[in-house]
Copies of this chain bind each other. A is one copy, B any other.
Amino acid sequence: MEPFGPRRQVEIYSRSPGSPEPLPIGFQEWEARARAILADGPFDYVAGGAGREDTMRANREAFERRRIHPRMLRDVAERDLTIELFGVHVPAPIILAPVGVQSIIHPQAERAPARAAASSGIPFTLSTVSSVTIEQIAAEMGTALRWFQLYPGRDRAVMNSLVSRAEAAGYRCLILTVDTTMLGWRERDLRKSYLPFMHGEGMANYLSDPVFRSQLSSPPEVDPRSAVLHFLDIYVNPSFTWDDVDFLRTQTRMPIVLKGILHPDDAREALTHGIDGIVVSNHGGRQVDGGVATLDVLPAVCAAVGDRVPVLMDSGIRSGADVVKALALGARAVLIGRPYLYALAAAGEDGVRAVIRNLLAELDLQLALSGCSSLAGIGPDLLWQSQAHSLDVR
Contacts and interface: CB of A to CB of B under 8 A. Distances in A.
A368 B22 CA distance: 45
Most chain B beta-carbon neighbours within 10 Å: one of A9, A15, A237, A290: A290
A193 B13 contact: yes
A288 B370 contact: yes
Given A184-B369, A262-B70, A54 B58 contact: no
Contacts of A86: none
A172 to B, nearest CB: 24
Contacts of A386: 296, 391-393
Given A16-B193, A72-B261, A319-B51, A9 B183 contact: yes
- Residue from A194, A289, A297 with most neighbouring chain B CB atoms (10 Å): A289
Interface string A316-341: 00111110110000000000000000
A239 to B, nearest CB: 4
A9 B185 contact: yes
Contact of A321 (B266, B289, B319): B289
Nearest to A264: B69
Interface in A50-97: 51-52, 54, 58, 63-77
B290 A25 contact: no
Interface stretch (A103-111, A163-171, A174-182, A209-217): A174-182
B69 A292 contact: yes
B242 A73 contact: yes
Nearest to A262: B70
Contacts of A272: none
Contacts of A308: none
Nearest to A193: B15
A264 to B, nearest CB: 10
Given A238-B76, A387-B391, A391-B386, A13 B184 contact: no
Nearest to A239: B77
Nearest to A361: B185
Contacts of A10: 232
A388 B384 contact: no
Contacts of A319: 51-52, 289-290
A5 B186 CA distance: 12
A241 B289 contact: no
Contacts of A76: 181-182, 238-239
A384 B288 CA distance: 13
A14 to B, nearest CB: 7
B67 A320 contact: no
- Residue from A190, A361, A369 whose CB has the most chain B CB atoms within 10 Å: A369
B13 A198 contact: yes
Contacts of A31: none
A265 B324 CA distance: 20
A190 B52 contact: no
A263 interface: yes
26 contacts: A9-B185, A10-B232, A12-B190, A15-B193, A17-B41, A17-B192, A25-B187, A25-B191, A63-B290, A68-B291, A69-B292, A69-B297, A70-B179, A70-B288, A72-B179, A73-B245, A74-B241, A76-B182, A76-B239, A185-B366, A288-B370, A290-B322, A290-B325, A387-B391, A388-B394, A391-B391
Given A69-B297, A76-B238, 8 more contacts: A13-B195, A69-B291, A71-B263, A72-B178, A184-B365, A287-B369, A288-B366, A288-B369
